[in-house]
Structure 1
Amino acid sequence: MALTSHPVSNSSQGGDGVKQWLGIKYAALQHKFAEAQLCEYTDIKTFDDSNHGLSAISPPNACEHEFGLIQKSLPVTKFSQSDTECLNLNITAPADALHAPSALPVFVFIHGGGFSIGSNAWPQYDQARIVTLSKELGIPVIGVGINYRLGPFGFLTSKELQDHGYSANNGLKDQQVALLWIKKHIALFGGDPNRITCMGESAGAVSTMHQIKLGAGTPSFSQFISLSGSPLMMRPLPSFVANDIYQTVTAILGLQDLSAADRVAALSSMPATELLMKLPPGLPFLPVLDERTIKKDTGFAELALDTKTELPENINMLIGSCDMDASIFGIMLASKQTGCLKRFVEILNEFALPHTSEILRAYHITPEMNDSEAWPLILHFANDIGFHAPASAYASAWKSTAYQYRFREPNPWEGPWKGYATHVLDVAYLFLNYTEDMSKSQAELAVEFATDIIRFINGKAPFQKVEQGSKFVKEYISEDGKTLSRDKEGNDTVWPALFSQAGYDAMSGVWAKFLSS
């Protein structure tokens, strides 16, 4: 089933120096909840590369929603979605990749979107310019962007569904199949299957880190990049929560009085658009703990002990966050602003006594404030525990080579978050698709950021690595950004000691409870 939805571009922005193969089908689906089946190819000539493939089913206007986060739009055209024909990928390579002296390193980008929206066809993810830059630098790379199932089609699960043969975490397993396809087929395009870097942003970064230990298999990549996301930021749901969500969904769809077999059959046969339209926004379709894919949830304390985490010893990592990644919460959770101060203090008292007053003081939160004054300060707390602390924790615990960065460049475009280093802004800079709308120093920073990423993909040190006793963090901010920045964000002199005293997992619990309150 396909439908016309939000618009995207299907044209390369990189000029004549690159070649793009668009909409390559990497897996087939028998139905919308089935497990993905790998597609095999032997000849590059079989690919129709003129148009993007169908995107995964998601709410309408999702691309415009992300443009709202970035606070700047790009030109777009119409495209379509499908529940069964959405598992495709785009490949961007230097035009002469097949004639290069040796096979080229590859990066695979997994888009974010909270596991509910996103597409490899969105113009902000176009990889032509970063691939062009890699060629100009003399260290060329091949880029791949993948689609995977989203929302209920990728992450609805329950014991009932699993008892009837339906797997959990289909969206993550789609990604796993895509990575396997790339390892098996990328040589057809001039890529090196032994030099693959998996890169994700936000929910895509969470996905990338799950892929390291997904199931019992060995990852199909040798290093990874986490842009503003980790399993410590977005914890997998316990199975009982997934069961509750399933019961909510089936009740909304009017299936609760059917037998289990009939209920599963009705859910599977219901048109995808009808199913999605009937469900209210905000249901948490997220990765779930189960016996086959994500087998355990790791907290801060366990990661710090480094005894049971089973961290890989041969996968290099580059990880980082933006100074105000929590801008995503400010937009998605705007309804929680009412009464936020009272709720936040109550939850702090529940999790963080006797440290509540110290935490409030550190974030300049006072009882005399109104909710609108307290809200951005609470988001600073959310940013520290949700993004900065996880990046630092993983960088410190990682057994192989690790690099950590902080994206501090403030958003230059008009909107409520102008002057802050906002969520998704790193992607806007990384793929170089907004440089016409940047100042000279901002565009130069975008090239610097992209260059460091390209160097890492090539197996080179992008900057100083994290080492015991020297936790180096590279900061990205332009000269114009220093002038534009209107807030002292990313101050790491407070939260590490504060969270250590109160307990990182307790602080994480505060924010999790606030989200569910």
Structure 2
Amino acid sequence: MCLRTATLTKTLRLSAISPPNGCEYEFGLIQKSLPATEFPESDTECLNLNITAPADVLHGPSALPVFVFIHGGGYSFGSNAWPQYDHARIVTLSQEIGIPVIGVGINYRLGPFGFLTSKGLQDHGYSANNGLKDQQVALIWIKKHIALFGGDPNRITCMGESAGAVSTMHQIQLGTGTPSFSQFVSLSGSPLMMRPLPSFVANDIYQTVTGILGLQHLSAAERVAALSAMPATELLMKLPPGLPFLPVLDERTIKKETNFAELASDTKTELPENINMLIGSCDMDASIFGIMFASKQTGCLKRFVALLNEFALQHTSEILRAYHITPEMNDSEAWPLILHFANDISFHAPASAYASAWKSTAYQYRFKEPNPWDGPWKGYATHVLDIAYLFLNYTEDMSKSQAKLAVEFATDVIHFINGKAPFQKVKQGSKFAKEYISEDGKTLSRDKQGNDTVWPELFSRAGYDAMSGVWAKFLSS
């Protein structure tokens, strides 16, 4: 654990074991790097907290509200030590505007160490979703002890981005009992975007892993023993990239999968009654799909049309027209348009579905600010760009209007953490309440394919879950 004031800048924090150069990879997504040193890793000392508080917090008149940030990275990489997640500037801003907060960054086990599971492992006492349980333990610890650092245990906001946002929503229903927080912020991620794996898929992944490691000839007990004895770095080095180590449906932690139809139903029995929500998405969050699944571009148009015919035949022509996709296009022309469809069904539609269904107070935003930095996605509101703006660690590389927007975004989130309305809440039948784009961003934007006037009605007729099925099968085909 590391306690830091908003003026302290140097700390040593061990990260969870993950593929090398993860931070550089995320800098590539943002298209701008920050000064960074080495990030030491450990498989036994990585579950630490990084607490950032105003310099005079222990001498203040009252306990401060707290936000707990869960990083993204597809459950494969990430660390609270990365400079883009430094909370010093947002904490300093909160103090300057008179509503100070405390920020906590957590780590959790990643990849196979956090999410490899199977019936054989569970039969031998190794439970599923250990990465999510690490997050849960961190949240419980924070609620129990944050008062010692000047925080209010009854005013905790859980905040996550991408896979971290998915995690915040899993934490609401993880296990039994009341969550350790009263609010949450979902930045570009939900269980509708990244659905938990069925148990049979997790078993197949386990069989793949044991085969790669040459353990398939061993008994179930011997496999478990061999995996437990293998050094973590060796295990990770032997596994190829791309294996889907993700949250898994099981009988103890994630018991069921959420879908659009359930959120649209009258019962919504799984939604909490007393947790406020701030949820949003970027106009080109699907840039992450374009990068991670670049190989899917080959033959993309033919596969996409075939899947539309499979899931919603009578709506295929209408969907293609809505996204300006024509049969005469080549794959390179069709790919960015297909990604717009992916963005709508994976990010925009889930945010709207949760905001509309939420039983407590809900706020929804849209991050439309285009990426200002050179790279293939310059001019688009890309995945992870919201983090670059929210935590204010890139303001020296922004224009005045861009830096002003970053402060505005951060200020709204600080208000929410303090239990104040950041902007107008979601009302029945409304869409997102606030858009974020700077004056320079309006000129820079290359995103001309927005379909907010089209996709809600179109997906409603074709079926939201059917449209989600199109994209899920596209990625797996």
Q: Is the 8 A contact 1:321 1:387 kept in 2?
A: yes
Q: Tell me how far apart the structure 2 counterparts of residues 244 and 280 of structure 1 sit (CA, whole Å).
A: 15
Q: Flag the 1:472–1:78 CA change in 2: closer, same or farther, 3 A.
A: closer
- Tell me how far apart the structure 1 counterparts of residues 249 and 56 of structure 2 sit (CA, whole Å): 44
Provide the rounded CA distance (Å) in 1 between the counterparts of 2:362 and 2:447. 29
Change in 2 beyond 3 A, CA 1:63/1:139? same
Q: CA distance change for structure 1 residues 121 and 306 in 2, over 3 Å: closer, same or farther? A: farther
- Look up the match of 2:444: 484
CA distance in 1, matches of 2:217, 2:268: 44
Residue 295 of structure 1: how far off its partner (Å): 0.3
- C-alpha distance in 1 between matches for 2:42 and 2:431: 45
TM-score by length of structure 1 reads 0.89
Q: Tell which deviates more after alignment, 288-297 or 485-494.
A: 485-494
Pairwise CA distance, 1:274: 1.0
Q: Secondary structure at the match of 1:81?
A: coil
Secondary structure of 1:80's partner? coil
Structure 2 counterpart SS, 1:82? coil
Following superposition, the deviation at residue 79 of structure 1 comes to 2.3
Q: Give unpaired runs (5+ residues) of structure 2.
A: 3-13
Deviates further, 138-147 or 462-471:
462-471
Aligned partner of 2:165 in structure 1 is: 205
- Between 403-412 and 463-472, report the one with greater CA deviation: 463-472
**Structure 1 pair 189/76, CA: closer, same or farther in 2 (3 Å)?**
same
Q: CA RMSD in A?
A: 1.2
Contact 1:209–1:230 (8 Å) recurs in 2: yes
- Structure 1 residues 345 and 256, CA, compared in 2 at 3 Å: closer, same or farther? same
1:306 to 1:67, Cα distance in 2 relative to 1, 3 A:
farther
Distance in 2 (alpha carbons) for counterparts of 1:470 and 1:203: 26
* Cα drift, residue 267 of structure 1: 0.7
Contact 1:120 1:145 in 2 (8 A): yes
User: Aligned-pair distance for 1:490?
Assistant: 3.8
Give the Å deviation of 1:93: 0.3
Question: Which 4+ stretches in 1 moved above 6 angstroms?
Answer: none
Is the Cα–Cα contact under 8 Å of residues 205 and 225 in structure 1 kept in the other structure?
yes
Contact 1:200 1:226 in 2 (8 A): yes
- Asked if structure 1 preserves the Cα contact closer than 8 Å seen for 2:80 and 2:105, the reply is yes
Residue aligned with 1:301, SS: helix
CA distance in 1, matches of 2:469, 2:163: 19
- Give the Å deviation of 1:473: 2.1
- How far is the alpha carbon of 1:486 from its aligned partner? 1.3
Q: After superposition, give the CA deviation of every residue in 1:12-51 in whole Å (9 maximum; x if it has no partner).
A: xxxxxxxxxxxxxxxxxxxxxxxxxx99xxxxxxxxxxxx
User: Is this contact kept in 2: 1:303–1:309, CA < 8 A?
Assistant: no
2:10 is aligned to: none
Change (3 A) 1:63 1:253: same
**2:429 & 2:457 partners in 1: Cα distance?**
16
Q: CA deviation at 1:470?
A: 3.5
Partners of 1:366 and 1:489 in 2: CA distance:
14
Aligned residues: 466
Contact 1:106 1:191 in 2 (8 A): yes
Q: How far off is 1:489 after superposition?
A: 4.5
CA change 1:471–1:384 in 2 (3 A) is closer
CA contact (8 A) 2:352 2:432 kept: no
Structure 1, gaps ≥5 residues long: 1-37, 40-53
| Identity within the alignment, % | 91
Structure 1 residues 490, 217: CA separation in 2 closer, same or farther (over 3 Å shift)? Answer: farther
For residue 396 of structure 1, what is the aligned residue in structure 2?
356
What TM-score do the two structures reach when normalised by structure 2?
0.97
2:400 to 424, 429, 440: 440
Q: Secondary structure at 2:314's aligned position in 1? A: coil
What is the CA distance between 1:179 and its match in structure 2?
Answer: 0.2
Cα pair 2:268 2:357 within 8 Å, conserved: no
Q: Supply the distance in 2 between the matched residues of 1:489 and 1:326 (Cα, whole angstroms).
A: 13
Post-superposition Cα deviations, 1:59-89, rounded to whole Å, max 9, x if no partner, equal 0001000000000000011121111111001
1:266 alignment partner in structure 2: 226
Of residues 240, 250, 253 in structure 2, which corresponds to 1:293?
A: 253
Shift of 1:472: 4.4
Whole-Å Cα distance in 2 between the matches of residues 221 and 503 of structure 1?
33
**Counterparts in 2 of 1:403 and 1:484: CA distance versus 1, 3 Å:** same
CA deviation vs aligned residue, 1:78-104 (integer Å, no higher than 9, x gap): 121111111001000001111111100
- CA drift at 1:308: 4.6
Alpha-carbon separation, structure 1, partners of 2:269 and 2:188: 21
Question: Distance between the aligned counterparts of 2:38 and 2:259, measured in 1?
Answer: 42
